[in-house]
Structure 1
């Protein structure tokens, strides 16, 4: 009797776990779909600091932070999937912040001074807006 009960409980747990895994996979959008659902914002509507950072990107620097221009790994998978090294991140100064703050521009393309696309985040990669020039 104990063996039958244990088998029943284990089977139920496995069914629930498989169901949760399938639901989780279905709730994540495919990378190609992400670009279609990303909100856009005009460069002129971004904070002045973001516009200044964008100009620095086009000019090739110099950048105020050592991490500026480093490869952005897209670990959050919120941006369209691209080969490693496609995206680079740049700090957007946050007035009053004692560190780099949460604001960034993430741009993709080669050369970095002529990006194919840029995204703005004000919440340290939790969300992005595609920047329209």
Structure 2
């Protein structure tokens, strides 16, 4: 999904569901990219352009979904990317997890601000 389509979905999500306070998913589990930390938008831009990523050894690797908090798919469907947290010197807890192919235009973007404890689907379905 291209950036413009993602932005349109995010706006529609916000209009239809009253979504979202910053980093808070709506009742339907979606969130608006504009309601997430600004670094999340920058990470989505990097994904769509193919990088370069701040943590090249960690960004773009397969996300196993071992917690089962995302819909079940075959291994390799999900990939994770760091959403930098200003003021810390490590990767922190924030991530974008993408689902689907190709890597620069995945079908789904999820955000977690708590290291995989919870997710919201960016822009809705």
The bucket for the TM-score relative to the shorter chain is: 0.7 to 0.9
For the aligned residue pairs, the C-alpha RMSD in angstroms reads: 1.3
Conserved 8 A contact 1:38-1:128: no
Structure 1 residue 86 displacement after superposition: 0.4
Partner of 2:48: 58
2-structure distance, mates of 1:101, 1:62: 18
Cα separation, partners in 2 of 1:38 and 1:121, compared to 1, 3 Å: farther
TM-score where L is the length of structure 2: 0.74
In the TM superposition, 1:1-133 aligns within 5 A as 39-65=29-55, 66-132=57-123
Larger helix proportion of the pair: 1
Cα separation, partners in 2 of 1:61 and 1:118, compared to 1, 3 Å: same
Query: Which has the bigger relative contact order, CA under 8 A and spacing at least 6?
Result: 2
Which consecutive unaligned segments of at least 5 residues does structure 2 have?
A: 1-26
Conserved 8 A contact 1:67-1:90: yes
Cα separation, partners in 2 of 1:107 and 1:38, compared to 1, 3 Å: farther
Q: Which of the pair has more CA radius of gyration?
A: 1
| Number of residue pairs the alignment of both structures matches | 97
Which consecutive unaligned segments of at least 5 residues does structure 1 have?
A: 1-36
Structure 1 residue 38 displacement after superposition: 5.5
TM-score where L is the length of structure 1: 0.70
Q: Secondary structure at the match of 2:79?
A: strand
Structure 1 outlier segments of 4+, above 4 Å: none
